[in-house]
Amino acid sequence: MLFHPAKNPVELRVIHLNKNQEQRREDLMEATQGKAALKQFKKTMAKKAKQALKVKTKNKKKHADDKAQVFVLDFDGDIKATAVKHLREEISTLISAANKGDEVVVRLESGGGVVHGYGLAAAQLVRLKDAGLKLTVCVDKVAASGGYMMACVADKVVAAPFAIIGSIGVVSQLPNFHKWLKNHDVDYEMFTAGDYKRTVTVFGENDAEDRAKYQEELEQTHELFKHFVNNYRPTLDVAKVATGEHWYGEDALKLNLIDSLQTSDSYILERMEDNEVYALHSRQKPTLAEKLGLAQAAEATLSIAVDKLPDALARFDLNSRLNILK
């Protein structure tokens, strides 16, 4: 695909959710009511579809007046926002194929992570709005910190009642081993060019000036975060919510962090009533070894070998000692 070299190909799968749901409904109806009831149901639905097509043809609606299509994307974020690798591919495909006015629903789950990773992920969502597409973000469990940075871009943010929302803040923590190294007579040397190339370090001695500069950098990042949120949710009282705190869905709604309470399943089913809904999933194309299961088998064998290695070494050590005693 667009951003991946030939050595790391990515494949895109498109699922028509309306058809999937219809098939499941028919399977359940056949199992619970029998084939005769299913046959009658199909006849009724076919008749309704035919009538709807006649009305559409009679009115001669232009494409701009047709039902907007809805596309569903998933983003399950880790601390590095590595899922953006596939998100950017899916968004690029949508921008080139979708029509203005179509809706993109992003099912977002993330507790946040590195600033540059989630900054890029949020910028990818901005591309959808710039292309004239309506953006809705659904949060079932958590959209905190960098996750909320992404969510706030949306035209509409929908969250489950107990989803964790907010955490508009910045955090950084690290251990310091300077005293331990000093006690063990280990010197640590670091060479830099530029007054602030390094401030606080893990192994060096940190002074008040180092800590003050590092805190200043965190505050600057926080200000950028608050400005970004305020830009996309101007009615939000950013000063009130940008404390690093998080809230559950109902309280987040009162604070205007989200727009409505609803699970992603419920929202998508509603959209399916009047629109054609498609889910897009991209993934790294599996190698031949992965298709045959060889990669998984090799990984399992290696895991077993690693687990048994301590026992094998212990037996070897015991045998060596016995031989020496002989």
Sign of CA dihedral 57, 62, 65, 68: positive
The one-letter code for the residue type at 104 is V
Residue 120 Ramachandran class (φ > 0 left, ψ -120 to 50 alpha, else beta): alpha
Provide the 3-class DSSP secondary structure of residue 148. Answer: helix
Which of these is catalytic: 145, 167, 264, 282?
Answer: 145
Task: Using alpha carbons, select from 32, 30, 12 the residue that is nearest to residue 22.
Answer: 30
Q: Which of 50, 60, 62, 197 is catalytic?
A: 197
CB 112 within 8 A of CB 118: yes
- Return d(Cα 208, Cα 188) in angstroms, integer: 19
Cα gap 80→114, rounded to integer Å: 6
Cα R_g (the chain), whole angstroms? 28
In the residue annotation, 266 being an active-site residue is answered as: no
Q: Do residues 165 and 254 lie in contact, with contact meaning Cβ atoms separated by under 8 Å? A: no
For residue 145, indicate whether it is catalytic: yes
Give dist(CA 86, CA 74) in Å, integer: 10
Residue 20's nearest CA partner among 269, 267, 262, 282 is 269
Q: Within a 10 A sphere around the Cβ of 21, how many other Cβ atoms?
A: 14
Q: Which residue has the tokens 């006690």?
A: 183
Question: What six digits make up the tokens of 99?
Answer: 């029509």
Structure tokens that stand for 288 in this block: 């031949």
Cα separation, 231 vs 227, whole angstroms:
6
Q: Do residues 147 and 110 touch, judged by C-beta distance below 8 A?
A: yes
What amino acid positions are annotated as catalytic residues?
145, 197
